[in-house]
Amino acid sequence: MSSAIYNDLQGKSILVTGGMRGIGREIVLSLARQGAHVIFNATKSEKNQEKAGELLRKIEECGGKGTPLLFDVSNFSETQEAIASLLKEGHSIVGLVNNAGVTRDQLILKVKEDDIDKVIDTNLKGTINVTTALARHFLKVSGEGGNVSVVNISSVVGLMGNPAQTIYAASKAGIIGFTKAFAKELASKKVRCNVICPGFIETDMTSALSEKVKESYIENIPLKRAGQSQDVASLVCFLLSHDSSYITGETIKIDGGLYI
């Protein structure tokens, strides 16, 4: 658990996509420990609707406030409608974490159109959908003196590539380009945007890998261990806080040295 306290995050409303499992859930709970109001997203499945109450209780136990907002980030109109309904309630959103993501690992000769659509639409288009749906609101909030920070979750795979992850790598590299352009466009309006590239982090996404593949990943990591969701969550809190107010357009690897 992070020991850093960012007082400016207390009471602030922050949207985290893909916030009900893995890295996203840890980001949600870390922000709750900072006293933030966390709007957490995941797909609109029956399971998520049932699980939302449990996460809300956990957020409150951590000292924060929570609001579930279930929608499919890859769906443009569903995203627009969900964000519009959130803003209609009068929330002032000052932070966004585009974390929702999927993998469909497949050798290039076996890639199907459905794999391309799923991965690009969720990871890249999803990040763009949510950010653009909030962009006008961010300009309004920053114009009123608010400090707005967007954090996108990419991957070291978007920087270095990986066999059987061509589509995933393309989607994650796209997020880096989007981050830099968005950061340049909105910096004069005091809206910041940074991108995190995690390496191998233990979550549902990586638990699907065989023990042999996991061992070979760890063998290549200079720190000789997998990362934890908390490692990423601590960095996200820093990037959302005023302590990082002079950092924008930056790409930060958190990978135990894997990229070196």
Are 123 and 74 in contact by the 8 Å Cβ rule? The answer is: no
Question: Rounded to the nearest 5°, which phi and psi values hold at 231?
Answer: -60, -45
Q: Is 174 in the site for ligand NAP (CB under 6 A)?
A: no
- Residues 3 and 10: their CA atoms lie apart, in Å, by 15
Q: How many residues at the interface with ligand NAP, by CB under 6 A?
A: 30
The residues, ordered by sequence, that sit 6+ positions from 64 with a Cβ below 8 Å of its Cβ are 31, 32, 33, 34, 35, 36, 37, 38
Q: Is 152 in the site for ligand NAP (CB under 6 A)?
A: no
Length of the chain: 260
- 6 catalytically annotated: no
Judged by CB under 6 A, the stretch of 69-77, 82-90, 107-115, 180-188 that binds ligand NAP is 69-77
- For ligand NAP, the closer of residues 181 and 208 by Cβ is 208
From the list 14, 15, 20, 150, which residue makes contact with ligand NAP (rule: CB under 6 A)? 20
- Rg, the chain, Cα only: 17
Exactly one of 168, 217, 246, 259 is catalytic; which is it? 168
The residues, ordered by sequence, that sit 6+ positions from 79 with a Cβ below 8 Å of its Cβ are 71, 72, 73, 126, 129, 130, 133
In the numeric block, which tokens belong to residue 51?
């699980």
Judged by CB under 6 A, the stretch of 80-88, 95-103, 109-117, 233-241 that binds ligand NAP is 95-103
Q: Is 21 in the site for ligand NAP (CB under 6 A)?
A: yes
Q: Is 40 in the site for ligand NAP (CB under 6 A)?
A: no
Q: Is 74 in the site for ligand NAP (CB under 6 A)?
A: yes
Q: Is 42 in the site for ligand NAP (CB under 6 A)?
A: yes
Report CA 234 to chain centroid distance, whole Å.
13
CB of 259 to ligand NAP, least distance (A): 12
From the list 200, 235, 241, 253, which residue makes contact with ligand NAP (rule: CB under 6 A)? 200
| Half-sphere exposure at residue 192, Cβ-oriented, CA atoms within 13 angstroms | 23
Q: Is 101 in the site for ligand NAP (CB under 6 A)?
A: yes
Q: Is 68 in the site for ligand NAP (CB under 6 A)?
A: no
Choose among 2, 15, 20, 16: nearest CA to 204: 20
Where does this chain bind ligand NAP (CB under 6 A)? 17-18, 20-24, 41-43, 45, 48, 72-74, 99-102, 122, 126, 153, 155, 198, 200-201, 203-206
User: Which amino acids are annotated catalytic?
Assistant: 168
